[in-house]
Chains A and B, each alone.
Chain A
Amino acid sequence: MGEMDRQRRAVSAVDRRMFVKVSAGSMAAVALRSAYTMDALAQETSAEAGYQFFTAHEAETIDALAEQIWPTTETSPGGSDAGVVVYIDRALGGAYQRYQPIYQAGIQWLDDATNEQFGDTFVGLAPEQQFELMDAVFNADATPAASPAATPEPQVDGVPVAATPEDTAEIAPSDGKVQVAGGEGPHIASLKAFLDLVRVHTMEGLFSDPVYGGNRDFAGWRAVGYPGPYIVYGAEEQQSFEPLNQPLQSIADL
């Protein structure tokens, strides 16, 4: 809120004049406002300065997880080549700042777990060992302990911060929060919730527009046969029962 809304207010006064005649010729309005969108995107994806949030070790860990979640196969690149870690890093430095503590803790839980089982950090393991560990965690029949005392909830004005849409919907469907295991070591349910969050963010890094830093060279979209944004679809394309084979494009190309 604030400056952006002030601008919006000013702009909406201009746009109001255009209301009555809303037509396909509304591209003037497009030009008027696209400046805002693109600035914000450019800021979020200026990759030159290395990672915005991750340490080198954290980045390597997330990169390895993304590769396990979406592995390189004969037909297409995996999560690592698709730049998923760049997407997640930019997100954590921006729109997903609230997840920073979860990532920091989660990577530590993961390393604690692999140290205990294999005597090394996650990135130090062979890919097969990484898979084995992840498979065990994902398949664990574990949900976070429901005791409120065991799960400190960060609150803003009485509302748990952790219970944002993504948290309740995706981190831990069972009770809406990642367990912060105070002094008791990593909790399998917390780790499972963390890995599932990384899974969801990996999907975002594969299938969001490349302007967000992931989906590098359209690796995610190309793999699944999605061409990116198109403005118009005609009957012939829509009624085809064959692959459409459209050239790939980004919102940066529109």
Chain B
Amino acid sequence: MAVLPKKDVVIIGYGAAGGPISVELSKAGYSVVALERGEHRTLADFAPKAFDTLRWVTRREMVPTIEEMPLTFRSDLNEKATPVPYIMANTVGGASVHWSGQSWRYYEEDFRVKSTIEELYSSEQLAYLEEDGANIQDWPITYDDLEPYYEKTEYHVGVGGWPGNIQGEIRPVDPEEGNPFEAPRQRDFPFRPLRDNATDITFREGALNLGLNPFHVPTAITTEAYTNPDGVERAACSYCPFCTSHGCWNGSKSDTRVSLLPTAEATGNFELRSNSHVLRINHENGRAVSVDYIDLITGEQHTQPGEMFYLGAYSFQNVRLLLYSGITGGGQVGKYFINRSGPSVHAIFDDRYLNGYAGPAVQRQGLDDYNGENNVDEKLQMSLDDFFVRGAFIGSPSQRNPLQTYGARPPEVPSWGVAYKEYFTENLNRYIGLQLLQEPLPYETSYIDLDPNYTDKFGVPAARVQRQAKQNEIRMSRYIYQKGVEILEAAGAARVWGSDTPRPSATMTHDLGGLRMGSDPSMSATNRYGQLWEVPNILVGGGALAPTMSGHNPTETIWTLSYWTSAAVLEGKLDLEDSQAFS
């Protein structure tokens, strides 16, 4: 086992979170190494010859096997957890390589959910949350703290959109396509989002018929040739439909590899080691000193010493690595895990073709009328049995090629035989399925720990996930299901179906919490900069930091938090010797 030369910064996992900090600290002269267990795939790997849904979606070529990344799940704490598939890519750039690119700022109130609901609702209305063991805390930071870093993400990573709110002015540009509920931004997006397709136009019609406020979602896809402030050049999206769960052939879908890596490498201070699987973090006297990792090509094990360590290996792996390394944060590491489960709504149209295969998944209209507390008036009228807090974004995805869509059928159609064939051949291109992005709550009984029964091939215990859907999720699902049905009916759908019941699972691609930030070390794992209370030279990246979720996808916030933490390091706001001594 070789001990390698010490680096100032060791980044563990080079996905979304690892990107910004690799740029910011290497630019500032720190020596930075990123250890990434995945391969170094480049544009050539995603070239049109690889427009192959079987490879990337069905067979999940970029996703590790269960032996490589074991994950187990149970809802009932008395049962044995069973192994479940991993779905996040392990590759240079992480899951940001095969993500969809739906890219949001969180709302102001997303950072203060506890205060918001306590202000709006009575203790009688909220009583069921305590019964269910909900543990909701405000973030120790605000939207205003992050606003400059959101802007940095949008300009450097590359996010396009219609502004909904510039410095308080609602829908300031023409056409008025922005999200009117958006938190105020100081500056417009660097470019516009994708265009509307037939599905979007249809969804929009339905929403407008109901008096709602549809908008085209912001997307981390360069819709025109774009050069970011560091000089990284990007090509315009071709609207090829091999986008979500595939890598982009053209470098148009923003990810850490195409947007940020070139800048980090150009500094000469950054080294990327792919195929490098980190096994454990070694620590002495309350400080991390090195990590042990395996070169997955040679099988050799190395020790990489460092001054500062950044956890960028995704929520499950970040928690697992800490626990396996004996860092428990006084029981806080792994707690308050949050992920989504929710209803589904599908429809077919008989008056039109939608040709949903002819565009990427993230080309979508959506609406936030039922997200967060935007529907507070309606909630105040609800009976105690129907009442819930928070809500969901509702949107209209595409990329409905047959290999990804063959399972979508109404309950009266069998899964095989003539009836199925007739249904599917007539309706593939008349079909739409909604995205219903519910905001679930953190609970005492939802957490990640080490599985006592399963290990990976190196003998490291699997991450075990425990997660439940409780009254809030069940009531919200019934409500959001109904809203989805109404929108599609208002759009003229001939047949609408779905499920109004949430089914919790281990991983939903939005897996947050587990290392939440807070102000009180007895109730959180890190301080406001993502610095572990227990080991001050370990900084946490990624969604694990989130005390609460949001009805929006998390990754723009993940990038933004990485900028936020980097700035705290550079401005001396945190002390690597003492997590309590921050300013």
Contact = CB atoms under 8 A, between A and B. Distances in A.
The reply to whether chain A is a binding partner of chain B is yes
Interface of A: 1-2, 5-6, 8-9, 11-12, 15-16, 18-24, 26-27, 29-30, 32-34, 37-38, 68-71, 73, 75-76, 78, 95, 131, 134-135, 138, 156-161, 163-165, 168-169, 175-176, 196, 199, 202-204, 206-209, 212, 220-221, 223-226, 229-235, 237-244, 251, 254
Contacts of B353: 240-243
B60 interface: yes
A225 B425 contact: yes
Contacts of B83: 159-160, 163, 168, 176
Contacts of A242: 353
A52 to B, nearest CB: 17
Count chain A CB atoms within 10 A of each CB in B225, B359, B402 and give the residue with the most.
B402
Interface string B341-368: 0000000000011110111000100000
Count chain A CB atoms within 10 A of each CB in B84, B195, B225, B406 and give the residue with the most.
B406
Contact of B240 (A208, A226, A230): A230
Contact of B459 (A11, A157, A226): A157
B247 to A, nearest CB: 12
Given A22-B251, A26-B251, A238-B358, 12 more contacts: A12-B40, A33-B42, A73-B422, A95-B59, A159-B70, A165-B63, A165-B86, A224-B425, A226-B428, A239-B196, A241-B198, A243-B353
A19 to B, nearest CB: 4
27 contacts: A12-B42, A15-B44, A20-B233, A23-B251, A24-B250, A32-B44, A37-B49, A37-B50, A68-B416, A68-B417, A131-B417, A159-B456, A159-B462, A165-B66, A168-B82, A202-B416, A206-B402, A206-B406, A208-B58, A229-B48, A231-B240, A232-B238, A232-B240, A238-B359, A239-B196, A240-B355, A243-B355
Nearest to A239: B198
A121 B402 CA distance: 33
B42 A163 contact: no
Contacts of A238: 195, 197-198, 239, 355, 358-359, 363
A247 B176 CA distance: 37
A205 B63 CA distance: 22
Given A29-B47, A73-B422, A225-B429, A5 B275 contact: yes
A243 B359 CA distance: 14
Interface stretch (B11-19, B261-269, B469-477, B531-539): B261-269
A229 B51 contact: yes
A5 B41 CA distance: 10
B501 to A, nearest CB: 15
Given A22-B232, A208-B58, A238-B197, A244 B66 contact: no
Contacts of A22: 43, 232-235, 251, 258, 262
B48 A231 contact: yes
A19 B355 contact: no
A160 B462 CA distance: 12
Given A156-B67, A169-B85, A233 B358 contact: yes
